[in-house]
Structure formats: structure tokens, C-alpha cells
Chains A and B, each alone.
Chain A
Amino acid sequence: MFNELIGTLLLTARDVIPIAVILFGFQLGVLKRPVTQWRKVLLGFVYVIIGLTFFLVGLQLALFPIGESMANQLTTSEFLHPDGSKAPFIWQDYFWVYVFAAAIGFSTTIAEPSLIAVAIKANQVSAGTIGIQGLRISVALGVAIGITLGCFRIVVGDPIHYYIMAGYVIVVIQTFYAPKMIVPLAYDSGGVTTSTVTVPLVAALGLGLATNVEGRNPLIDGFGLITFASLFPMITVMGYAQIVDYLSKRKAIKE
């Protein structure tokens, strides 16, 4: 393990050097300004390299194995057919895979700190019509639906681009009808909410599923869950805004 840490440390240092050279180069060479508190800044870069090293080794030791072993355990034939029947597996047999995918997607997103910050901002911008909890729940639902549907796609083995294309068509249609101020926020919520911890776990889950479900090729079917997780929040967030908009208009008509 010690050798692995040292090896990762060297590779990480190599990865961080370009951005350090770029920032210092522009600061000194183009702006011709000294770096204020350069000791602190330099120490910060050292911390980044140490932190990344531990993080990457930790991912290899913990999150990737967790994702793979969950995919593995949820797809063994003893678990899928506890009565020992030899019937071929159909997509409904993988029920617990979908429940697990939804639970991971929902729980990791609802706890995401950057999402809470975005939700508070959206609440202010919309003068209170977009609720903080409402937005958080709709993004988390979007990620949950996305990962679940992505797992379903791996189980049945459909080509990924049909799903993604259909998703984008829905996004484009919604863009025309949703309240204008929610659109940029909805687009944003797609990419930003999948955190550094969730991405590797979800990637490992997809690869594990594609390895264990019969007839799937991990290279073709194993990837794509992250795209699903960043596409569907756009749909649910705009949908949420549309529902809120519709309800408030109906209330206004009644009054």
C-alpha cells in the first residue's frame, strides 16, 4: 500500500503541475504582479497534491470495490431466483438493483452541500416561488430517476443514445414552456450536483452491472450512468417550476 501511495503521489504531482505553472506564469509573466502570501499559496498546492493522493488511493480501496460488490451481490442467481428456478432472467428480476440505484442517487444528492447553496440562491432570485426543499427534492428525484433508468438500460442492453436523445428532446420542449428564470438553473443543476464522491461509485455500479448481467459488454454497456444522472435533473427541475407556475396561476384565476 505504501508503494501505491508513493506512486500515486508522483502521478498526482504531475497532474497538478500544469495548473500551478499556468496560474503562476500568468500572475508573474502577464500581470507582472507578485503573488501575495506566496508561502501560503505554495503550501495550499502541497495540500492539494497530498489530498488528491489519499483520495485517489481511497477510491481504489473503498468506493470502486463497494460499487462493484453491490452490483455483484445484487445480480447473483441465488439472489435473483432464491427458489432455485432455472428460468432465464427478465428485467423485472433486477428489482433490487433499481431500488439501490434510486436510493444512492436520491440520498447522495439531497445531502450535497453545493446543491443547498444553489437552492437558497434560486429561492431569493424567484422571490420565494421556488421553494428550497422543493428544488432540492426535484434535483434529487431527477438523479434517482436518471441512475435507475440507466441501470434498467444496462440490464436490457439498449443503445444509450436513444435514451439520451429522447431526454434532450424533452429538455428542448420544456425549455420553451418553463418559466424563463428557471432555465439556466435547471441546465446547471445537471452537471454540478454529481459530486466527486458519487461519480466513482456510480461508475463502478454501472461497470459491475454490465460485467455481471449476462450478454452485456462492460465497455459498451457499463458507462453512461453519469450522463443519465446529469440529464434527468434538468427535466425534473423544469417540471417542478412548471407545476408551481401552473398551480399559482390556477389559484389566481379562482380568486
Chain B
Amino acid sequence: MSAIVKLLHAMLSSFKDLIPIILVVSFFEIFVLHQAPAELGSILIGLVFIVLGLTFFVFGLEMGLFPIGESLAEALARKGSVFWLVIFSFSLGFGTTLAEPALTAVANEAAQVAANTGAIEANKLAMNSYAMGLRITVAISVGLAILLGVIRILKGWPIHYIIIGGYVVVMILTSFAPANIIGIAYDSGGVTTSTITVPLVTALGVGLASVIKGRNPMLDGFGLIAFASLSPMIFVLIYGMVFLN
């Protein structure tokens, strides 16, 4: 019985995420545009799917991925083996990013747009390999960012020099990269730090910072996320320079 109540509760909170979108779009359709969105039927089915999907997704994360991921991150931080810690940081960033739903959706959309405008061939195979290439690039860059962030926590390097340096690199690369990758590259930074990556990476950072003396868990946990949203910009720009030029 309590499981059903929990499930209904989770569905309600997933639905709450959609309410502002539904209200704003309805307001515009009724009062400003005086029309209905195209394909209203399939949109309604899709909204039901989103609520169902988010519910199961969040439920599953809290049952499986989060407890094991968080306890693992803390245990490895306490174990004191730098080698395994570094390997784990990279794998964690890589694995969580590959499963991140917003990134999957945006990468598929980017492939669709690239095919429509003739930047890549307009067939399923070329589009899939372009989307997958983007996602793997982002996943590798998040992995490296977490790795660098962990080393930074161990060594106690100041964060703002690395961040400002990173933005300088982004600006230099922007001037060499093809115009049709710049927007996607910039967006990939914001897309990656989302539902799965943020809680697990924060657990790693906070665990690590609380083991080492003289570190502030709030500050250092945050540093990892800041790196993870900066480095995909750099790597996707390079990806564009290599594959779209």
C-alpha cells in the first residue's frame, strides 16, 4: 500500500515539473495566438509518457544508482589509493554523462539539424554516428573534468585560475572552430550537468573534501560541477574542428 502511495506521490511531483510549461503554452495559444498546437493528440500522449518516464527514472535512481554510487564515491575517497580514485573519477564522469537524458535528446536533435542542413549525410546511420560521436566526446570531456577536479582537490589548487584559463581556451578555440559547431559546443556545457551526474559527482567531491583536512566540502563539491560544465565546450569545439571542417 505504501509503495502505491509513494508511486503516486512521485508521479505528482513529476507532473509539477510540467505544470509551468503547460500553463504558459496554453495561455499563449488561447489568448495570444488563438489556435491549438499542431498534433494536440500526440502531444498529450507524450506528456503522459514524460510524467510516467520521469517517475520511474527518479524512483529507479533513488533505489539503485544513487545509494550505490554515493557509498562507493565516499568509500573510495576514504580508501586513500590515488590510482583507483583517479580511474574512478574518470569512469564516473564518463558513465553518468552517457546516460544523461537531456544530452541524448539534444544530441539527436543536433544530428537531425546537421542532416537537414547538409552538414552530414541525411541517413539514419550518419545521424546516429554523429549524435553518438557528440555524446562520447562530451562524456570523455566530463570524465577528464572530474579527474582534473579531483586532482585539484588533492593538491589544493585555487579554482578560479583554472576556470578563467578554461574560458580563455574556449574563446581562442571559438575563433578557429567552424561556425556550425559553436552553438552546440556552448550548449553542451549546460546540458551535461543534470539529473544523474550532479548528485553522484557532488557526493564524490564532498566525500573527498571531508576526508582531507582544511577543505571546505561546499566549495570543493561545487568545483567539480563547474569543471564539468566547462570542459565539454572545449572538447566539442575540437570535435567540430576535426570532423566538420
Contact = CB atoms under 8 A, between A and B. Distances in A.
Given A42-B64, A51-B56, A200 B182 contact: no
Interface in B85-140: 88, 91-92, 94-96, 98-99, 101-102, 104-106, 109-110, 113-114, 116-117, 119
B239 interface: no
A62 B47 contact: yes
- A: interface residue count bin: 35 or more
Contacts of A26: 72, 76, 84, 88, 91
Most A CB within 10 A of own CB, among B84, B101, B164: B101
B170 to A, nearest CB: 8
B212 interface: no
Contacts of B65: 19, 23, 44-45, 48
B33 A74 contact: yes
A227 interface: yes
A31 B52 CA distance: 35
A236 interface: no
B68 interface: yes
Nearest to B37: A69
Interface in A190-211: 190-192, 194-201, 203-204, 207
Contacts of B47: 58, 62
A250 interface: no
B49 A31 contact: no
A19 B95 contact: yes
Nearest to B177: A161
A104 interface: yes
Interface in B48-77: 48-65, 67-69, 72, 75-76
B9 interface: no
A188 B222 contact: yes
- B: interface residue count bin: 35 or more
A54 B56 contact: yes
B17 A65 contact: no
Contacts of A200: 102, 105-106, 109
Contacts of A40: 63-64
A44 B64 contact: yes
Interface string A7-44: 00000000110110111101100110101000011111
Contact of B113 (A195, A199, A207): A207
Interface in B211-245: 218-219, 222, 225-226, 229
A224 B27 CA distance: 26
Nearest to B97: A19
Contacts of A21: 95
A90 to B, nearest CB: 20
Contacts of A54: 49-50, 52-53, 56
A160 B42 contact: no
A49 B101 CA distance: 11
Given A40-B63, A41-B67, A48-B57, A184 B219 contact: yes
Given A79-B33, A220-B183, A227-B190, A51 B21 contact: no
A230 interface: yes
Contacts of A60: 46
Contacts of A220: 179-180, 182-183
Interface stretch (A128-136, A164-172, A239-247): A164-172
B12 interface: no
Given A19-B95, A224-B186, A197 B49 contact: no
Nearest to A57: B49
A192 B193 contact: yes
Given A187-B226, A191-B229, 4 more contacts: A35-B68, A48-B60, A62-B50, A107-B20
Interface of A: 1, 15-16, 18-19, 21-24, 26-27, 30-31, 33, 35, 40-66, 69-70, 73-74, 79, 96, 100, 103-104, 107-108, 110-113, 125, 159-161, 164-165, 168, 172, 175, 184, 187-188, 190-192, 194-201, 203-204, 207, 217-227, 229-230
